[in-house]
Amino acid sequence: MEINKRLNYILVCLYFVSCVLHSQVNRNVIDTMADNFQKLTDNQSLDNIYLQTSKDIYETEDDLWSKAYILDAEHLIPSQKSKTLYVQLINKETQQAVWEEKYEIENGFVDGHIYIQNSLKTGQYVLVAYSEHSYFENQKALYALKKVHIVKNIKEYIKATSIKNDTISQFSLFPEGGYLVSGLENKLAFKAINNEGLPVEFSGTLYENSLPIFNIKSAHAGMGSLNFTPKKANTYYIKLSESDKKYQLPKIKTTGKTLGLTESTRDFLTFKISQSKNQKPETIYLRLQIRGVIYSIASAKLNEEIIVKMPLEDVPQGIAEATLFNSDLKPIAERLVYVKQDQKLNIKTILDKSEYETREKVTLKIITTNENGEPVMAHLGLSVYDKVYQNKFEPKNILTHYQLSTQLYGNIYNPIYYFNEDNKNRYEALNLLLLTQGWRRYVWNEDNLKENKKLRKKILSDTIIGKVRLAKIKKQPEIQGQQLVAYFAPESPKEQDTFETDSMGVFTINYKHLKATEKGYFYLKPLTPKKPKYVIDITDTSFNIIDKNNEAVTTNYPFPKLIEEKFEYVRPPLIVSDDVNKLDEVVVSAKKKQVFRDKFLSSLANSLPSPDYVCGYGLLNCVNCISNNQRFKIRKPIDGETYIAEDRRSKIIYRKNNNLNYTEEEVLEKFNLKIIKGYYGKREFYQPIYNNETINDPFPDYRNTVFWKPDIITNAKGVARIEFYCSDINTIFTGTIEGIGGTGLLGAEGFNFKVYKREIK
């Protein structure tokens, strides 16, 4: 992390003479504060991952297309730190991964694909992504999540409905800055939730010495606030209209300092800092930081009250933390505030028509600009699909993910609300959210940074470590000197190489080898003498490490506006008829056919002799003969001959089929090989082109996702043009587009159009 090179030094002076005397001293103190914070954030530069999918609901035997954004967590620009993205599809009910693969990260992005197998059960699944710099041991929560629903048929999906629960299970109070101080005006925020963590609207009264002094009510999502001046000698509580329970206010300090936000504009944040009367004047410092980067530090001599304006000229959009320090540089009050709420990537979509016929061409123009209407080059992902596959209550997009969900610990209710320009109270609502979340929930809070620096430990890697060792350690010494390891990919003849180990037999496989064998496998073989035998150990257990670590990790996903009702899909019982005949004599072709992962492994299996044998008593593969050292009586079975099964109750006609007798592991062991899978290669999204001839093709086109493109790049004028064709489905289609601008601006947009059935001419 680097300190902002244009760090603002603000000296708020009450008297000119004192300002001159303290200017240089304060500047040195400010430099020390900035240096200490930088040391705290050094080596904590992380990846922050967002997952965009082609739709929200999938049927089995469907394709799930995805785009991963891997951004630098501090500056929200494409990250270059990690090379490998680990992706899992997890069944939410069983918490088991049903699919997992590795992808290459290219310039901060990954184009992903999953085929939804018919064997998957109906239910909710979670797509999760990890990288070397985003996932650690002792991590508190997972953020790189995308919930999807999988059904056998779209008719099974039950739409979300509102489940009303107005019972307040928790009512919390949050003094602005952290404390209530006697005799000083304080802002007190409050929040009510039910037992599911969802907001509950309420009204009530603040009492002072059992006398009502203020009526209160929630302003948004169970949150509200009021300003009042508490007195230490008095007793305060809040009583809600919904119950008779009394909620005591937090402890009131006899003396102290308060920090309050009085105004937030595009250019400045204005704070009022107050301290109790009769306290000595003191030099105080106010620090403003966003995502671990300090942008301003103000210094002032505080008597009773002072106003501090913090400039926002070079400050990016997001949650800012203002921390008040006393003269001993001890933090005494903190406040979270959202700055530049409307500074985002504006995405405008222009369709050539609002209605189309089936198989008709759609032309779409995309325009990306900043908040001033100036063109911005952007990297976008676009999906167009049947609206029935959309979960309209999905609570997150790329903007809410990076600016809210990953910046605060805990689940946020309906975060999209705060960035919807149709909501006129979104500024006040977002301010309430930050007042009630509490600064200790801020991921970049100094205490959290200290804890993370102490506990954070990497558990994933972009490289795979291998080691050549003795197969059996007897009297032979450990390997001494460098050894060679052959690397080859049978399906890619050009991919042949050798690794040189270090003196301990250790070697490294990097991401380039995984990329070179995309969609396939490569093999490793020690180039050592036959005797004594050496083998290769591979420490590529990334997904095993992830599964183990996830047992103690919570998921951080925003609450939707409405709760979805649970649903179940019950498969009919499998019934076997009672009149099935049981045979005394069975024809066996050795074993069930072994399906190998590639042709090379299958060819090796074919070259091996059959392991089947007949003992001296005519029993096929008799275990007792081997255990009793009766090897001299063993002979090979003859194709077509009849032998007695080991259970001595049935006869078997033997059919020789060598390659069916070995498992993959056995073949690899016999040839002393290790197999490693490369990256999951890119898949191409199918897009038909209809012309005067093909438009009448009788073969049906049932595509419910008619367009997916994860790598749209607008030009210098902020413009991109897209063309695609409708399918035979006549319904309402929806388009979702998300992305990032070259300057780190984030944005999301949607559009709809209708498709009518084409009249055959």
d(CA 37, CA 391): 42
Instruction: Decide: helix, strand or coil at residue 215.
Output: strand
Q: What is the 3-state secondary structure (H, E, C) of 35-100?
A: HHHHHHHCCCCCEEEEEEECCCEEECCCEEEEEEEEEECCCCCECCCCCEEEEEEEECCCCEEEEE
CA–CA distance from 621 to each of 593, 636, 652 (Å)? 18, 10, 11
Task: Give the count of alpha carbons within 13 A of 647, CB side only.
Answer: 6
d(CA 730, CA 85): 38
d(CA 659, CA 650): 25
> 338: pLDDT confidence band, cut at 50, 70 and 90?
very high
Tokens of 333: 């009050």
**How many residues belong to the chain?**
761
d(CA 383, CA 360): 17
The predicted model gives 413-428 an average pLDDT of 93
Read off the pLDDT of residues 511-554 as tens digits, 9 standing for 90 and up: 888 888 887 888 899 888 778 888 888 876 689 888 888 887 77
> 592: pLDDT confidence band, cut at 50, 70 and 90?
very low
Question: Which candidate, 312, 313, 319, places its Cα nearest to that of 292?
Answer: 319
Question: Which candidate, 317, 323, 328, places its Cα nearest to that of 446?
Answer: 323
Read off the pLDDT of residues 210-228 as tens digits, 9 standing for 90 and up: 999 999 999 999 999 999 9
638 or 285, which is more confident: 285
Read off the pLDDT of residues 703-753 as tens digits, 9 standing for 90 and up: 999 999 999 999 999 999 999 999 999 999 999 999 999 889 999 999 999
The predicted model gives 31-59 an average pLDDT of 87
Q: Residue type for 121, please?
A: K
133 or 646, which is more confident: 133
The predicted model gives 181-192 an average pLDDT of 95
> 504: pLDDT confidence band, cut at 50, 70 and 90?
confident
d(CA 432, CA 263): 14
